[in-house]
Structure 1
Amino acid sequence: GELLQGCVCERAFFTGQQIHARILKSGESIASNEFVETKLLIFYAKCNAHEVAFRLFSRLEVHNVFSWAAIIGLHCRMGNHEEALLGFCEMQKNGFPDNFVVPNALKACGALKLIGFGRGVHGYVVKMGFDGCVFVGSSLVDMYGKCEEVEDARKVFDELLDRNTVAWNSMIVSYVQNGLNEEAVEMFYDMRVEGVEQTRVTLSGFLTASANLGALEEGLQGHAIAVLCGFEVDNFLGSSILNFYVKVGLYEEGELVFRSVSKKDVVTWNVLICGYVRNGKFQKALDLCQLMRAENMRFDSVTLTSILSMCADTSNMKLGKEGHCYCIRNNLESDLAVASSTINMYAKCNRINSAIQVFKSTTKRDLVLWNSLLAAYAELGLSGEALKLFYKMQLDGVPPNVISYNSLILGFLRNGQVDEAKDMFSQMQSLSILPNLITWTTLISGLTQNGFGYDAILIFRQMQEAGVQPNSVSLISALSACTALALLHYGRTIHGYITRRDLFPSIPMATSLVDMYAKCGCLYQAKNVFDTVVNKDLPVYNAMISGYASHGQAVQALSLFKHLEDVGIELDNIAFTCILSACNHAGLVNEGLELLNDMASKHNIKPGMEHYGCVLSLLSKSGNLDKAYELLETMPYEPDAFMLGSLLASCKEKHEAELGEYLSEHLLQLEPGNSGNYIALSNVYATAGMWDVVTKVRNVMKEKGLHKNPGCSWIQIRQELNVFVSGDGSHPKNKDIYATLALLGMEMHFTEHAPMIY
């Protein structure tokens, strides 16, 4: 027995087998001795020789506490947690379990997240008086942590009279596993104050918490302590240090740590590959994958998930298919994480049929896999297919979660099905499924993009009332809604929130604020925000130029545009749209034509429809109908309704009935149901005094059932939105408002005020 125990301690498996062979040669009496058989069983179990261990266990006529402990421990190490718990129950029936077996039972409960069973074992521990054992207590802390019952874990920890390193480590790891990283860091420092010895497990937990928090100083301290303690930077500790450097963006330091790990396992490679992919360093990730293969390292499910994620982000179909083929060749296609990533990759590459095929070929489907296909349908705007899948997963006994509803809401909003998206949002709340940040952000962004800005603002308010902190996407979307509705007061409120939350300086946020203030009539505040941005990019310049344009300050717009050219910032289509719009508002014909010509000749940018549209509008409004018509005929695009409408409106001012009739024929072909086009044509004829033709146009409108769409405007006064529709007298202060308007009109007439043309 002592010889076999020595083989276990020294991991001398071959020597142990030789001892077993000698026992067999010694005769049946020794080989069948219960004590000898139990020692052999313990030896093979500790050496993870499961086939021999199970055979010896089945041969034993009587199972004692040592044989049960050995076989239950082996089941746990093999991941057979259900079998371990069945063995524990069998032991319990026979009155065998002791404090050495209980930790394995608790480990199995934690792995299976069986909190009910775990609490039962805890009760048994108290009943048997094992709760004073530090190893049992540490196992209870670990079990509660894995079952996401952190408060219970902390309660057990606090009640331990003798807290050793294992107990402290269990508590730190529990905090990290449950996302309580600040508590984990605090406990690490408490452990040092208490003078408890820290191990590589301690430092690994501390470094992981520091990485998750982005706590640079704490992580550097953790690495320094590891060096001072003389810990070998092996795969376990090296991966934690590497993960920290990657997550805080110190890639050069991370690469040094990676190179210092002598015998790298797949986990170490994965940490750096995942870090590169997560931060968009795709070429480095690809180079590392190739180096990994050159060193004869096999990809595992984590490696492939990262590769497929990279292919999805870059729409690299060729590499994605190679990754999928590798999965099939190496029997990894049944791994649910790999299958989900493959579905996502095919969806992002617009290959929905391939994504469906992967889903169908996966026999064991969990909620994550169902959600992957739901997200694929939503991404491509296939809301009908997404809804069918949503009901099918429930028929198959898979209840949806918040991620499922998020995908459906996204799919509906992508298709402009706003009412359906709202219904789905209401349904999830009625089922007590709490919306998460993604739910709120998807709704706010989708409603804004679909022109439901007021609804987006209401949802934004609901999100704040629910105690959910908005992220940059939801804030930018809410600002876009304020911009569209000219809700200056609410836009300022959001600006105040951004400042209080220290979300400045974010260039996309600053761009949205500049745009909002400019379009809400506060150009000076737009300029103030613009001036606070240190490293300005092109979008923020474009927003400021657009603001100057909408306020008729073409000189400032042109000056800022010239500054852009002088500092060497590469211009884009949007920049030229903004500056041409400024020329259009100010009637700067020569400047507008010169800029249109410079796009291709100086900046190698092909003018688009929007650029020709701006110049056509500029020429039309300035009375250059011949030049406008010439540009319309010579440009490399078929004119759209906006271009034809601009010319048609100018025909009224210049009494060009013939040209107006020609333009209206093309316009009505493009938009036969738009009553505004008939009204515009009617006005051209009326200006030319052709009243008989006006009557004919009006009669055609009646025959087609077309009516002039009523004008609509709104204004925000003291945080209240007031909406006005032409012909509607329902506003409570309707009489006072129209009386004031009449008075202003009279004053304008007496002062001979002439409104600006541009």
Structure 2
Amino acid sequence: MAVAIVVQSVPFLRCLSQTQNPITTNYDRQPRRQARLSIPNSKYPQSPTTTRQVLEEIPHSIKTIAWNNLIQTHISNNDVYGVMVIYQQMLLRGVRPDKHTLPRILTASSRLSGSKFYGKQIHGHIFKFGLCSDQYVLTALMTMYATHDGVDVARVLFEQSSNKNAVSWTLLVKLCTKEDKHILAIRTFKQMVDLGVEVDAIALVTILEACAGLNSLQQGKKVHEIARKFGLESDVLVANSLIKMYLECKSLKDSRMVFDQLPSKDVISWTSIICGYVNNGEINEGLKLFRLMNAEGIKPDSFTISGILPACGRIAAQKHGKEIHTYMYRNGVDSSIAVQNSLTNMYVKSGSLESAVKFFVRMKKKDKFSLTIMILGYSLHGRGELGVELFREMENLGSKVDDAMYAALLHACNTSRMVEEGRSYFRCIRAPMLEHFTLMVSLLARAGLFGEAKAFVDTWQIEMHPEVHRALLHGCRIHRDRKMAKRIIELLTEMEPLNAENYVLLSNLYASHAKWDLVEKMGETIGDMGLRPNKAYSWIEVRNKVHVFGVGDVSHPRSEMIYYELQGLMKKMKEEEEFVFDTDFSLHDVDEERECTPIGHSEMLAISFGLISGKGAIYVTKNLRVCRNCHSSAKVISKIVGREIVLKDPNLFHHFKDGFCSCGDFW
């Protein structure tokens, strides 16, 4: 259905019946009444004195180009009200606006309250002065109407124009994309190509944004072919948009192909491909490209740094993170608050809480993200009480506490067993999400308040979420409530019949009761269903190389020394520390074994390798929760060898030192 655009005359268009300098238009050679601009003085402050002085000094004979320059100066200084006053005076003096004047006035009016009021007045002036067919003016009008009435109205204006060109076509595609009408944008671009309109780099960048928003690899490749046809594939703007589009469509291979073929890469090209690898889990390749970028003489900016730092937010890449921080300091890379937050988060996630705290304290400006990162950081390292204390100290910052910060606070209360504080923070959340519910159930269950936890689940009607039952299960593990654990695990197998980890949990529970016939039966069930449980593995970085260990791994070149060291430690543990193995029903690194002996567990092999490979602290990461025996063994080993052991599992950093763990055996 066609949409009619009506230019109102009153009050949007004011005319004087007679003036000393009547304007005679060129397009119809008939005298017309003078156009006026209505500016409600009550809405806006008076124009600065300097602007009025300038206007008083302007001679009446001054030409349009001088007025345009004056208008542009005020726009550059963001004095948009002054622009409107100047334009008003220009009209009152009978100076005819041209195709350069009116688009600038539309730009200035868009920054004022009631911009649609001014926009329609100016449209009337455009019509009056016969400039509707000018491309520069048309695009300004299309932008104005799209802002207020949507792209459909802008399209009507476009279709009514008799003088369309590549600029107006591209703008229409851009306006469709801006309103997330990506399919309409693609259709408009196709129509543009079919009509033989010249396609330039800006048009290709615009349509590639629509393809990325639609996550359409098929459409993106068609646009890529058009870029190749017009010889624009190697244009850096187009190539960067192609890289981004392919990454949004999850085609890392195609994005790398475009990147490799690009003869002249800029910082945006490098940043895009680096972030693409990091976001797709290809951490090592992302770091490799970052080093290559420096070798090519391209200086990373703050966006590059923010993109690569998450790759360093793991124990194995802690050294790389410190190198990047040093590089930033020496090369004067812009340290925006976003970059500083990324650095703090990197130190937290790579296991160096002390470095994170030092950097956080030195930050001159902090926001709610800075605070959330540190609260969660303290929590992840078993110091939740310090996170809560930090929040109390910084409540006067005035930052609004959002859902992410409440989640961090509840996590901190979890690790520090601060039940009353957790209840208090939960009551402050206006619209709790599943994450908040799960953390609250976990807090109550880990504290042994199973009755209150069950009542909480019933009250909020969240019993259908598996995450909630896993939170209860963690409490059962801590408090050795095998009976309740069995009921929860059986319920989880019903809720998630294709989740292999639930059957492994049940198998481990049977193993803790030495019910080996049921363990074997559960193994057969897992096999018959074709399920594949996650295999436990751990990794450690030594001399810039990552070493990965699985259960009972003997593939490492130094396996003989690793097991010899581990057996010696186990002997000392039994003789000197009177260590006794425990039974546990958490996820174990066991396949066919009938007792949980840590000598073949992946994290113990990694720790042993760290001990024989050098001095200093040992940093190990494991993909599954550390079992109780390995946790106890690591504590005793840290005392025997006198070295700190940092073990990261999916939930927590365990800092073992002098026979104690930072988690307080509460994980």
Matches within 5 A, 1:368-387: 368=201, 369-387=203-221
Equivalent residue, structure 2, for 1:726: 550
Deviation at 1:376, TM superposition (A): 0.8
Measure, in 2, the Cα distance between the counterparts of 1:664 and 1:407: 48
Which residue in the other structure is 1:326 paired with? 157
Counterpart position of 1:389: 223
Q: Once structures 1 and 2 are overlaid, which stretch shifts more, 525-534 or 337-346?
A: 525-534
Instruction: Give the distance between the partners of 1:243 and 1:535, measured in 2 at CA.
Output: 35
Contact 1:486 1:519 in 2 (8 A): no
Which of 261, 267, 272 in structure 1 is aligned with 2:100?
267
CA distance in 2, matches of 1:613, 1:698: 30
Note if 1:632 corresponds to 2:457. Answer: yes
Aligned partner of 1:425 among 235, 248, 259: 259
How far did residue 667 of structure 1 move?
Answer: 3.6
- SS of the residue 1:492 aligns to: helix
Letter in 2 for 1:577: A
* CA shift for structure 1 position 478: 0.8
Counterpart for residue 171 of structure 1: none
Q: Is the 8 A contact 1:482 1:491 kept in 2?
A: yes
Paired position in structure 1 for 2:524: 699
Q: CA deviation at 1:554?
A: 2.5
Q: State the distance in 2 between where 1:485 and 1:291 align.
A: 62
Residue type matched to 1:588 in 2? M
* Maintained 8 Å contact 2:462/2:468: no
1:469: which partner in 2? 299
Amino acid in structure 2 at the alignment position of 1:724: V
Question: Is 1:517 paired with 2:517?
Answer: no
Unaligned runs of 5+ in 1: 1-47, 50-226, 601-605
Structure 2 residue 502 is matched with structure 1 residue 677: yes
Q: Which amino acid aligns with 1:410?
A: K
Determine if contact 1:386/1:411 at 8 Å carries over to the other structure.
yes
Q: Which moved more, 1:556-565 or 1:745-754?
A: 745-754
**Distance across 1 between alignment mates of 2:65 and 2:116:** 24
Over 3 Å counting, the alpha-carbon distance change for 1:399 and 1:599 in structure 2 is closer
Q: CA deviation at 1:231?
A: 13
Three-state SS of the structure 2 residue aligned to 1:552 is: coil
Distance, in Å, in 2 between the alignment partners of 1:310 and 1:741 is 73
Corresponding residue of 2:659: 753
Larger Rg computed on CA atoms: 1
Change (3 A) 1:367 1:268: same
Equivalent position amino acid for 2:375 in 1: I
In structure 1, C-alpha distance between the alignment counterparts of 2:328 and 2:105, rounded to whole Å? 34
Residues 306 and 734 of structure 1, relative CA distance in 2, 3 Å threshold: farther
Q: Tell me what 2:588 maps to.
A: none
Percent identical among aligned pairs is 24
TM-score (norm 2): 0.67
Give distance in 2, aligned partners of 1:687 and 1:272.
78
Write the letter of the residue equivalent to 2:549.
Answer: V
Contact between 2:347 and 2:353, CA under 8 Å: does it hold in 1? yes
Q: Is the partner of 2:531 in helix, strand or coil?
A: coil
**2:322 corresponding residue in structure 1:** 492
Tell me the residue number matched to 1:622.
447
Change beyond 3 A, Cα 1:338–1:598: same
CA distance in structure 1 between the partners assigned to 2:347 and 2:455 by the alignment: 38
Within a 5 Å distance, the mapping from 1:334-373 to structure 2 comes to 334-362=164-192, 363=195, 364-368=197-201, 369-373=203-207
Relative to structure 1, is the Cα distance of residues 694 and 385 closer, same or farther in structure 2, using a 3 angstrom cutoff?
Answer: same
Q: Return 367-376 or 581-590, whichever deviates more.
A: 367-376
* Deviation, structure 1 residue 732: 5.1
Question: Which residue of structure 1 lines up, in the alignment, with residue 241 of structure 2?
Answer: 407
- Give the TM-score normalised by the residue count of structure 1: 0.59
Considering fraction of residues, name the structure with more helix.
1
- Quote the residue 1:21 is aligned against: none
Give CA-to-partner distance per residue, 1:476-495, whole Å, 9 cap, x none. Answer: 11112211465222222322
Structural mapping, 1:517-536, within 5 Å: 517-536=347-366
- SS state of the match for residue 724, structure 1? strand
SS in 2 for 1:725: strand
1:569 to 385, 399, 408: 399
Alpha-carbon shift at residue 640 of structure 1 (Å) = 4.2
1:646 corresponds to? 471
- For 1:418, the aligned partner's letter is L
**1:722 alignment partner, SS class:** strand
Residue in 1 that maps onto 2:432: 607
Letter paired with 2:548? F
CA distance in 2, matches of 1:311, 1:723: 60
**Paired residues of 1:311 and 1:320 also in contact (CA < 8 A):** yes
3-state SS of 1:487 partner: helix
Distance 1:401 1:382 in 2: 22
Partners of 2:541 and 2:117 lie apart in 1 by: 56
- Return the letter of the residue paired with 1:726: G
State the shift of 1:242 in Å. 5.5
Comparing both structures, which one devotes a greater share of its residues to strand? 2
For 1:618 and 1:552, the matched residues in 2 are separated by 14
**Secondary structure of 1:710's partner?**
coil
Q: In the alignment, which residue of structure 1 is the partner of 2:428?
A: 598
Q: Supply the distance in 2 between the matched residues of 1:260 and 1:505 (Cα, whole angstroms).
A: 46
| Count of aligned positions | 520
Aligned partner letter, 2:508: N
Summarize deviations over 1:672-701 as a string: whole Å, max 9, x none: 444322212222333345443332221111
Residue-by-residue CA offset, 1:368-409 (whole Å, 9 max, x unaligned): 334432321112211222123323554688756444443343
Q: How much has 1:510 moved relative to structure 2?
A: 1.5
One-letter amino acid matched to 1:388: K
1:571 CA displacement: 1.3
Report the RMSD for the aligned CA atoms in angstroms: 4.1
Deviates more, 1:628-637 or 1:237-246: 237-246
Task: Find 2:389's aligned residue among 527, 550, 559.
Answer: 559
Matched, 1:416 2:322: no
Q: For structure 1, which segment, 721-730 or 503-512, has the greater mean C-alpha deviation from structure 2 after superposition? A: 721-730
Mean Cα deviation higher: 380-389 or 670-679 = 670-679
SS of the aligned residue for 2:150 comes to helix
Taking the TM superposition and a 5 Å limit, the aligned residue runs for 1:51-90 are: none
Equivalent residues in 2 for 1:47-196 (5 A)? none
Q: Which residue of 2 aligns with 1:550?
A: 380
Letter in 1 for 2:100: V
Amino acid at match of 1:541: L
Alignment CA distance shift 1:324-1:635 (3 Å): same
Q: Aligned partners of 1:354 and 1:523: how far apart in 2? A: 50
Identify if the C-alpha distance between structure 1 residues 693 and 712 changes in structure 2 by more than 3 Å, giving closer, same or farther. Answer: closer
Structure 2 unaligned blocks of 5 or more: 1-25, 28-55, 574-634, 640-657
CA 422–631 in structure 1, closer or farther in 2 if over 3 Å, else same: farther
**Code of the aligned partner of 2:519:** V
d(CA) in 1 for partners of 2:170 and 2:534? 49
Cα distance change, pair 245–560 in 1 and its aligned pair in 2 (3 A):
farther
Of 636-645 and 318-327, deviating more is 636-645
Q: CA 1:638/1:538 → structure 2, altered by over 3 Å: closer, same or farther? A: same
Q: Residue by residue, what CA displacement relative to the aligned partner does 1:728-755 show, whole Å, maximum 9, x if unpaired? A: 5555555555655666665654859354
Q: Which amino acid in 2 is paired with 1:372?
A: T
Contact 1:233 1:261 in 2 (8 A): no
